Chains A and B, each alone.
Chain A
Amino acid sequence: MEMTGAQMVIEAMKLEGVDTVFGYPGGAIMNVYDELYKQSDFRHILTRHEQAAVHAAEGYARATGKVGVAFVTSGPGFTNAVTGLATAYMDSIPLVVISGQVPITLIGTDAFQEIDATGISRSCTKHNYLVRSAKELPLILKEAFYIASSGRPGPVHVDIPKDVTAELAEFDYPTHVDIPTYRPTTKGNVRQIKKAAEAICSAKRPVFYLGGGIIHSGSADLVREFVSATQIPAVETLMARGTLRHDDPLLLGMVGMHGTYQANMAMSEADLMIALGPRFDDRVTGKLSEFAKHAKIIHVDIDPSSIGKLVDVDYPIVGDLKEVLEVMIPKVKEQVDPDRYQPWREILKRYNEIHPLRYEDSDKVIKPQWVIERVGALLGEDAVISTDVGQHQMWTAQFYPFSFPRQFITSGGLGTMGFGFPAAMGVKRARPDKISINFTGDGSILMNIQELVTAVESRLPVINIILNNHYLGMVRQWQTFFYDKRYAETDLSFQPDFVRLAEACGGIGYRVETKEEFDEALKDAVDKGVVAMIDVIVDRDENVLPMVPSGGTLYNMMLEFKD
């Protein structure tokens, strides 16, 4: 059937089963918006900033594993979206972002609102396209969804000139794509898997190093089975939180810069590391030459370039984690003796007794960690938790009792302040059955505060809990530790009235200075089911501990800070 390029975009969304598009219109993408106006098959949510549109699409994708979609216009619309693309790229999140472009006849003339969008997105997308004619559009759109969601997932950007959206061409949407140059390896090498299984069964001090790839590949159930069958202790990266239940006795907690003592010691003293889908981020490894010095390494990853990038790997296995585990687990089960690791588990248990994850509670002032634990105790599995970036993010990762994969939505790789609130809107849209909580800081929340309007208008009741320390806390913490308390531009004593700000946008605000007030505010916000800002005044000087100073070694953690 003949259609315009704009109609093709809308049709493709329907055929891909997209139920939500986040976006913001403008000149170059108006034809698409005009078609969008005429349909009711999927919902469009108008954010108030393009960055937020992409983050919301990410929140949606992170909560479901489905491809998130955003529409933006050319020029400034697209440049605003770039931080979102980069955030998704660093965390391997499947997205399709469609931008308008000036007409082909004007490309390269510095036309109004022209920018070399594909030139910009090249370094922060898995792939991108500049569409040259409507004829190409069906295949490109199909490929975009396929590339975004297969192999190592990632964002794909499609830039469509305005005249292409008006051009008529035959619309024949492919049912499947076969890109001869793109065939991700999904089956792991069986010989290698067998050798890895043998290594696991003969190790004395093995440790599972669980990474974000588990969440992306949907293999958390298999990992749970693996861990329980072997009784081998496990550490989780920030991106893998929720793989194991918080109360699993084999879970040692988060690893890395703000990891637990037992998790970091386990990595340092292990003789075998079973790395399932992590990327050996420097926030995890610390000083590379000292990282896991005694361990042989098994690394399973769908992306060959992630294997051996930073550390030498003894058993490299390229493949889809799910497919690899389906072969590996039975092989290990045949010969494993869980009792073998008993002495090792004892050692780690003792580490945890000496230095458990802890904070000192207070009656005089609210501790941020208390707030997170409290929300965990009150809402637990009923909430999906997003965060912004800073101390509150690390405390959430440390103290929230996560129970299932995709319960924790955070910007790990890029560390994007302003991510949390729009992402939490996407979460609410994807999981209406859950309470969408965003733990944020007084710094971060201001980076996409305009989304209060979107959330209220679009009935996406997100509860923002501001852990308000009147500082850019995480930077202040580094200044405290490493810059002699020279608090250069991190004091946020001057603040808006968050309560009135929320009210001005049609939401509810609460200012909280005691524990009782907090419980009441949270209960009220949950009961009312509206967009809320709970501004919790917390201890100004609390630090995130333990801490491995940047470039330090995992076994040399700062466990407390004394003036």
Chain B
Amino acid sequence: MKVERRIISVIVQNEHSVLARITGLFAARGYNIEALTVAPIPDTDMSRLTIETRGNVRVIEQIIKQLHKLIPTFKVIEHEEMIEKEMVMMKFPINESLSNIQALCEAYNGGIANVSSQHIITMVADEPKRVRHFIEAAQRFHPVEIVRGGVVAMERE
């Protein structure tokens, strides 16, 4: 069966070790988490997790059913039509061309976040695929550190 990439959002009740329950489910059943972002939903006692995972149709279906089955799970959203964004920060040596780096970042919906005596730090937020392209393109400036933030997603409608 074909392996596909999927983004799943899970809305859960904020309770003791709820994140451990979710990651534990993936670990115990041998499912894969590629990326995970979590934050509380403002003005509620819920949190939203966005999980990037891979698997064949049966595995993805099981993941969704198993997530549903957890008692604190309120809702599982299998995204069809969604807007996806991912953030990445990169650190470059100060001797690289500041203006070239800036131009590259701007092409990918980002910019320079900080410049110190040693390093340039950039920040880009864009679709995951474009973030990958950005990271590839930025290799020529000899990055010393890369931090990816994981995907967040929202239904279009």
Binding site for B on A (CB under 8 A): 118-119, 122-123, 126-127, 129-130, 132, 147, 179-182, 303-305, 308-309
**Interfacial chain B residues near A122, Cβ < 8 Å:** 17, 20-21, 24
Number of chain B interface residues as a range: 10 to 19
Smallest beta-carbon distance A280→chain B, Å: 13
Answer whether A147 and B68 are a contact pair too, CB < 8 Å, given A123-B28, A181-B13, A308-B61.
Answer: no
Answer whether A181 and B62 are a contact pair too, CB < 8 Å, given A118-B17, A129-B16.
Answer: no
Taking A304-B69, A305-B62 as known contacts, 17 extra A-B pairs with beta carbons closer than 8 A to each other, sorted by chain A number, are A118-B16, A118-B17, A119-B17, A122-B17, A122-B20, A126-B71, A129-B16, A130-B17, A132-B16, A180-B74, A304-B68, A305-B65, A305-B68, A305-B69, A308-B58, A309-B58, A309-B62
In the docked arrangement, what's the CA distance between A309 and B65, Å?
Answer: 10
Smallest beta-carbon distance B56→chain A, Å: 13
In the docked arrangement, what's the CA distance between A180 and B65, Å?
Answer: 17
Q: Which of A127, A130, A304 contacts B71 (CB 8 A)?
A: A127
* Contact (Cβ within 8 A) A181 B73: yes
In the docked arrangement, what's the CA distance between A127 and B71, Å?
Answer: 7
* 13 residue pairs bridging A and B, Cβ less than 8 Å apart: A119-B17, A123-B24, A123-B28, A126-B71, A132-B16, A147-B71, A181-B74, A182-B71, A303-B69, A304-B69, A305-B66, A305-B69, A308-B58
Smallest beta-carbon distance A107→chain B, Å: 11
Smallest beta-carbon distance B152→chain A, Å: 22
In the docked arrangement, what's the CA distance between A126 and B71, Å?
Answer: 8
> Which of chain A's residues has its CB closest to B67's CB?
A305
Q: Which of B16, B21, B68, B73 contacts A130 (CB 8 A)?
A: B16
In the docked arrangement, what's the CA distance between A118 and B71, Å?
Answer: 15
Smallest beta-carbon distance A37→chain B, Å: 30
**Interfacial chain B residues near A132, Cβ < 8 Å:** 16
**Interfacial chain B residues near A118, Cβ < 8 Å:** 16-17
Smallest beta-carbon distance A106→chain B, Å: 17
B143 at the interface (CB under 8 A from A): no
In the docked arrangement, what's the CA distance between A181 and B21, Å?
Answer: 15
Residue interface bits B89-128, CB-to-A below 8 A is 1, else 0: 0000000000000000000000000000000000000000
A-B pairs with the 7 shortest C-beta distances?
Answer: A305-B65, A127-B71, A181-B74, A182-B71, A123-B28, A304-B65, A130-B16
* Contact (Cβ within 8 A) A179 B21: no
In the docked arrangement, what's the CA distance between A182 and B71, Å?
Answer: 6
Smallest beta-carbon distance B41→chain A, Å: 14
B55 at the interface (CB under 8 A from A): no
Residue interface bits B6-34, CB-to-A below 8 A is 1, else 0: 00000011001100110010001000000
**Interfacial chain A residues near B17, Cβ < 8 Å:** 118-119, 122, 130
* Contact (Cβ within 8 A) A119 B71: no
* Contact (Cβ within 8 A) A181 B71: yes
Most buried by A among B21, B24, B69: B69
Answer whether A119 and B16 are a contact pair too, CB < 8 Å, given A127-B71, A305-B66, A309-B62.
Answer: no
Most buried by B among A147, A305, A308: A305
> Which of chain B's residues has its CB closest to A151's CB?
B69
B72 at the interface (CB under 8 A from A): yes
**Interfacial chain B residues near A127, Cβ < 8 Å:** 71
* Contact (Cβ within 8 A) B20 A179: no
> Which of chain A's residues has its CB closest to B46's CB?
A181
In the docked arrangement, what's the CA distance between A123 and B68, Å?
Answer: 16
* Contact (Cβ within 8 A) A179 B71: yes
**Interfacial chain B residues near A304, Cβ < 8 Å:** 65, 68-69
